[in-house]
Structure 1
């Protein structure tokens, strides 16, 4: 069985895909998955499900939800139940099942190892595979208490970091021309994330488009000044200066 939270919450078993479809039980499963292998107290689960407005019989209702969730997983062929009662709450034990975010982390770890060893093609493949696990926003439109919100924030940042490392690996293996379009797109989506602008400038310069690389600098400089009143970071300024000087090192190295 496979649990997927890098997108809408769902459970898969081979070709079979199942979604809970019960809005109060979804945050329960999501929290147990995020904290898999750890005991999650009943009071914490109540906060995740109902936030600051639990019903009068919250504990009894939680027990019902746990029972329904166990039945849902059993119907998919899970035996014995992965959800175990452990005072003061419950723990989800993955056992032989997999969780997509764990696969994501493993692929990112592998990609970092390849990048450190300068195996840029292998690094690119690992980072691409990691990003390929995402099916949309983490947990879709599901919202809950502090565990789910904290995880969602972490996961989206991890996704952007992986994207940065993918661009870096692809630049290192000489794929600058094919990166220009996606880098233009991602700088529009994340206009204040300076690393993406840095990669765009370098890709443009290596593609023989020096004037556009300098225009990209001016664009982000204006955006940063207008939106938050700051100048570009040192890395962007140093890259601009290196481009003006046609520094030969830019033809071979990733801007630091």
Structure 2
């Protein structure tokens, strides 16, 4: 059995999809998957499905949705009966619990790979860390729950998950910069700064990759565009860290030429100059 939320909603077995087509059932399945192996309260289900205006029949309608999900699960070969489907989608005191085994949910695999990748980085193993974080990012097949309507609870999950995804990308890119892969990163970073026009660290990484690829003028253009967007959209100036990087590029500072050997400090965290 395979479940997926890191892209279109998935519930497959032997390459056959068992995802329901009805929007509310898909929404409920997604909520249960984000809380796999944990009880999701009836009140949380109702809030997600109808927000602050549930119908009078909300509880009975929710029970119908659960029954329909169990009927979908019944079609899975290794489940096969409604009785066994109830063992996969359990009714618990005050809510419901979807049983998901290790390795069945892409979100769990993503989180495990991220944990192992970060542990490798903590032990100065950039090559292994980059590989594991890259494998974690490869679990994504598109925007999370791209084909599911979302209420307030799912939306909060998706916001946090997207922030985590970007953070993992930054960490993997930082490791690759330390490994000297600056030229290979240019396309990816250019796309990321287009998608995240006010994200300073991604811009800093692109500036460094450009500088190390022998393109300092383009690195300065990246800074200029960031400064303009920050000013126009947020009324802000670049951070001191970005200003130090800008000055280092202008001065062709040797500190930019090689990855920092000081662990615990990102290679982009340039020291402030005295005077």
Please indicate, yes or no, whether the TM-score normalized by the shorter chain is above 0.5.
yes
- Is 1:83 aligned with 2:96? no
Quote the residue 2:178 is aligned against: 172
Residue 197 of structure 1 pairs with residue 200 of structure 2: no
Q: How does 1:66-105 map to 2 (within 5 A)?
A: 66-79=66-79, 80=84, 81-95=87-101, 98-105=104-111
* Cα distance in structure 2, aligned partners of 1:193 and 1:230: 12
1:53 aligns with 2:53: yes
* Corresponding residue number in structure 2 for 1:37: 37
Q: Separation in 2 of the partners of 1:243 and 1:5?
A: 41
- Does the 8 Å contact 2:23/2:149 carry over to 1? no
The secondary structure found in structure 2 opposite 1:3 is strand
Task: Within 5 Å, give how 1:8-19 maps onto structure 2.
Answer: 8-19=8-19
- 2: CA distance, partners of 1:57 / 1:69: 18
* 1:156 alignment counterpart: 162
* Structure 1: gaps spanning 5 or more residues: none
Shift of 1:97: 6.1
Aligned to 2:5: 5
Q: 2:12 is paired with a residue of what secondary structure?
A: strand
Distance (Å, rounded) in 2 between the aligned partners of 1:26 and 1:156? 20
CA distance, structure 2, for counterparts of residue 126 and residue 234 of structure 1: 32
CA RMSD, Structure 1 to Structure 2 (Å): 1.7
Provide the residue aligned with 1:219 in structure 2: 225
Check the 8 A contact 2:18/2:72 in 1, yes or no: no
2:262 aligned partner: none
Distance in 1 (CA, whole Å) between partners of 2:173 and 2:102 is 34
Paired positions, count: 256
* Structure 1 position 78, deviation (Å): 4.7
- C-alpha distance in 2 between matches for 1:95 and 1:132: 21
Aligned to 1:183: 189
Q: Secondary structure at the match of 2:256?
A: helix
Between the aligned partners of 2:211 and 2:234, the Cα distance in structure 1 is 27
Q: For the Cα contact (< 8 Å) 1:3–1:97, is it kept in 2?
A: no
Instruction: State the shift of 1:127 in Å.
Output: 1.5
Cα pair 2:113 2:136 within 8 Å, conserved: yes
* 4+ long deviations beyond 6 Å: none
Conserved? CA contact 1:40–1:91, under 8 Å: yes
In the other structure, the counterpart of 2:64 is: 64
More displaced stretch, 169-178 vs 113-122: 113-122
Write the deviation string for residues 31-82 of structure 1: whole angstroms up to 9, x where unpaired.
1111222222222212212223323322122111111111111211353331
The whole-number CA distance in structure 2 between the counterparts of 1:32 and 1:248 is 52
1:96 CA displacement: 5.2
- Cα offset, 1:116, TM superposition: 2.0
